[in-house]
Amino acid sequence: MEAASVSASSLIRVAALSGSLRKSSYNRGLIRSAIEISKTSINGLQIEYIDISPLPLLNTDLEGEGSFPPAIEAFRQKILEADSILFASPEYNYSFTAPLKNAIDWASRPPNVWADKAAAIVSAGGDFGGGRSQYHLRQVGVFLDLHFINKPEFFLNAFQPPAKFDSDGNLIDEQAKERLKEVLLSLQAFSLKLHQNQ
C-alpha cells in the first residue's frame, strides 16, 4: 500500500518495543530508524518507542484487585491504545530476551492487552541476524492472539561489512533502511485490513 493513499483518519499508532535495554543497542537503533522513516516517508503511521526497562519482574503478588503497579498500568495502557506492535529483539540463547518476555507477560495478564493487534518483528545481531528470536516470538504470539505479518522478514547481520550501524547504534545502511520501510508499509497495510474486519 502506498503511503499517499492513506487518509488522515486512518492513522495507525504503533507501539515499538526493544528487547535490548542498552542505549546504543542495534535493535533500539532499528526502532529509532523506524520512527524516523515513519515521520519522513510514510503517511498515516505513528510509532512510539515504549521503554520496558522500568518494569519490575513479573510477580503476581504485585497485582491488586483488578489493578497493577503504576509502571505496569502505564505500560499496559500504551499497549492497549496502540493499533499495532513493532518488536525489535536480539537473539539470546536461540530466543528473545528476558526483558521482552517480562513485558509480554505483564501485558498478557487478564485482560490480555495484546489481543487482536497486528505485529511485526525486526532484529539485528550476528550470524542469522536474530532470526531464531523471531521464530520463538511468533510462537508466543499465537497464545497472545497477536497477528504477525509474514512478509517481508527483516534479519540484519550487524557485523558483516559494510558497517550497518554507527558507534551510537544508529542504522546507517541505506539498503537496510529500505528493507525496514517495506516492513513498516506491510505492518500499516495489515493493521488497516484488521481494522476493517473488526
Question: What pLDDT is stored for residue 9 in this prediction?
Answer: 57
Q: What is the mean pLDDT of residues 39-43?
A: 96
- The whole-chain average pLDDT of the chain stands at 92
Helix, strand, coil percent values for the chain (each to nearest 5): 45, 20, 40
Domain regions of the chain by residue span = 12-55+68-196
Give yes or no for residue 1 having a pLDDT over 70: no
Radius of gyration of the chain (CA): 16
Give yes or no for residue 4 having a pLDDT over 60: no
Residue type, 16: A
Give yes or no for a cis peptide into 111 (omega within 30° of 0): yes
CA pair distance 60, 22, nearest whole angstrom: 27
Q: How far apart are the first and last CA of the chain?
A: 20
Compute, in degrees rounded to 10, the torsion defined by CA atoms 33, 37, 90, 195.
150
Give yes or no for residue 3 having a pLDDT over 70: no
Q: What is the pLDDT of residues 62-121, one digit of tens each?
A: 998 878 999 999 999 999 999 999 999 999 998 999 999 999 999 999 999 999 999 999
Question: What pLDDT is stored for residue 64 in this prediction?
Answer: 84
State the CATH architecture for 12-55+68-196: 3-Layer(aba) Sandwich (3.40)
Angle subtended by helix axes 131-144 and 98-108, to nearest 10: 10
